[in-house]
Structure 1
Amino acid sequence: MAKTVLIIDDDAPTRGLLTAVMGRAGLAAVTASDGAMAIEMIKTRDDLCCIVLDLMMPVIDGPAVLAHLSSVKSSVPVIVCTAAGPRLTPEFDRASVRAVIQKPFDIEQLAAIVKSLAE
């Protein structure tokens, strides 16, 4: 069974690109376009090996998704992807957030991080 990455981003082209990158890395991917959809998926899936999370989204944003993960004591590692500069990026609990990558991101770097977390 392939390891599954949850990609949470409100930008459809970004979700498509990341899904293709995960496929080339030998990982399955499922996507959510906002935090509300992501939280529902997190509640029902037990096959997630990693979450790639955009911070700024409508409906429910990235920090709210992180708060949910913390409240349910999720052990799924998270990679935060953000267009906000380093000064505007909040500090995260490193127990769940394993990496913060600035957009535009290096696809190969992101794939390498996801693969290492999926092992």
Structure 2
Amino acid sequence: MTPASEAPAKPVILLVDDAPENLFLISSLLKDSYRVKAATSGSRALEILGNSPEVGLILLDVMMPVMDGYQVLQAIKSNPLTRDIPVIFLTALGEGSDTAHGLGLGASDYLSKPVDAPLLLQRVGQHLPAQPGGR
């Protein structure tokens, strides 16, 4: 066995946002401690989830074309294979009613954009701790 095969794999986060610059920024923040998979649409996110049982956390934008984050969350929570994966909403919607709606649908957490890097890392760590030596 090689030393690389003995190291535990980094936890996997699925990042869903229709803005490539947001995907780049957030992926850059997380890449040292987590393996990040990215999707630019809700339908692509659901496709990745169907093919990636190792996803341990989902960071999900709310405002996306065709299928918004609330619809994606409902699909995730209605599937027995994905319903237990924690979902953190990342969105520019910051009203209390938006937060209540997202949490009411089953989101684990809700963060406003622009993303505060230390807060994002703290919240991700609360829902999906990094493997030892990952940071």
> TM-score, with normalisation over the residues of structure 2?
0.80
Computing the radius of gyration over CA atoms, which structure comes out larger, 1 or 2? 2
Alignment of 1:49 with 2:59, yes or no, is no
Question: What secondary structure does 1:79 align onto?
Answer: strand
> Could you list the runs of 5+ residues in structure 1 that have no partner in the other structure?
none
Q: For the residues of structure 1 that align with 2:84 and 2:69, how far apart are their CA atoms?
A: 17
Alignment of 1:100 with 2:110, yes or no, is yes
Alignment partner, residue 43 of structure 2: 36
Deviations 1:65-85 (A, max 9, x none): 111011103111010011113
Q: Verify the 8 A CA contact 2:86 2:127 in the aligned structure 1.
A: yes
Question: What secondary structure does 1:91 align onto?
Answer: helix
Displacement after TM superposition at 1:16 (Å): 0.5
Displacement after TM superposition at 1:118 (Å): 1.0
Q: For the residues of structure 2 that align with 1:104 and 1:94, how far apart are their CA atoms?
A: 23
Deviations 1:19-55 (A, max 9, x none): 111113x111000001010010111111111100000
Q: Verify the 8 A CA contact 2:30 2:36 in the aligned structure 1.
A: yes
> TM-score, with normalisation over the residues of structure 1?
0.90
The 5 A counterparts of 1:4-23 are 4-23=12-31
AA aligned to 2:37 is: V
Q: For the residues of structure 2 that align with 1:6 and 1:77, how far apart are their CA atoms?
A: 11
Match of 2:101 among 55, 71, 91: 91
Give the superposed CA RMSD. Answer: 1.6
Q: Verify the 8 A CA contact 1:2 1:27 in the aligned structure 2.
A: yes
Percent of counterpart pairs with the same letter? 26
Q: How many residues align?
A: 118
